[in-house]
Amino acid sequence: MIAEKRIEELGIELPLASPPGAMYIPVKQLGNALFVAGQVPFVDGKLLVSGKVGDTVSMEQAEEAARRCIINLMAALKDYLGDLDKVKNITKIQVFVNSKTGFMQQHLVANAASQLLYDVFGEKGRHARTAVGTNQLPMDAPVEIEAIVEV
């Protein structure tokens, strides 16, 4: 329970995994790879913040939204695996940022997510990453993050 101890030490309360909001499953396993569906920054069933980063959503709010996406992603992993220590490697994350035209700091929003994964999983949390600006995300979420994880 090393990962969960680190989560606790960081003052994070891992929520129960949210049920899917549409026709998909939260985690799909293929061999040793887990494909984790995109997570948005829900807190108690509501978005932490909504809107476009660089417009109605500040950089600080976007970074917090990215961290919340990772918290929800870890909740989905815990629900599927039962124990986060079964994670061998965070292989890749894809970070989608609902961006105002001209906003070019998607990589910095993604850094907040990457840092939290490193803080929880240590070297196993280092990963490849894509950070993409989009003009819209579901429910007007500012950030959505999906992952590929090795078990």
Quote the percentage of the chain above a pLDDT of 70.
100
20-24: long-range contacts, CB 8 A cutoff, minimum separation 24: 21/138
Residue 122 belongs to some domain of the structure: yes
For the full predicted model, state whether its pTM sits above 0.85.
yes
Residue 20 belongs to some domain of the structure: no
Distance CA 42, CA 47 (A): 4
**pLDDT given for residue 108 in this prediction:** 99
CATH of the domain at 101: 3.30.1330.40
**pLDDT given for residue 21 in this prediction:** 85
Are 145 and 69 spatial neighbours (Cβ–Cβ below 8 Å)? yes
Residue 71 belongs to some domain of the structure: yes
Residue 18 belongs to some domain of the structure: no
Are 21 and 41 spatial neighbours (Cβ–Cβ below 8 Å)? no
* pLDDT tens profile 14-26: 999 988 989 999 9
pLDDT beyond 90 at 86:
yes
Quote the percentage of the chain above a pLDDT of 90.
97
Q: Report the number of distinct structural domains present in the chain.
A: 1
* pLDDT tens profile 34-56: 999 999 999 999 999 999 999 99
Residue 23 belongs to some domain of the structure: no
**pLDDT given for residue 1 in this prediction:** 81
Q: CA distances (Å), 124 to each of 15, 55, 98, in order?
A: 22, 35, 28
Domain that holds residue 126: 2-10+29-150
Are 74 and 27 spatial neighbours (Cβ–Cβ below 8 Å)? no
Type and span of the H or E element at 129: strand 128-134
* pLDDT tens profile 63-76: 999 999 999 999 99
Residue 108 belongs to some domain of the structure: yes
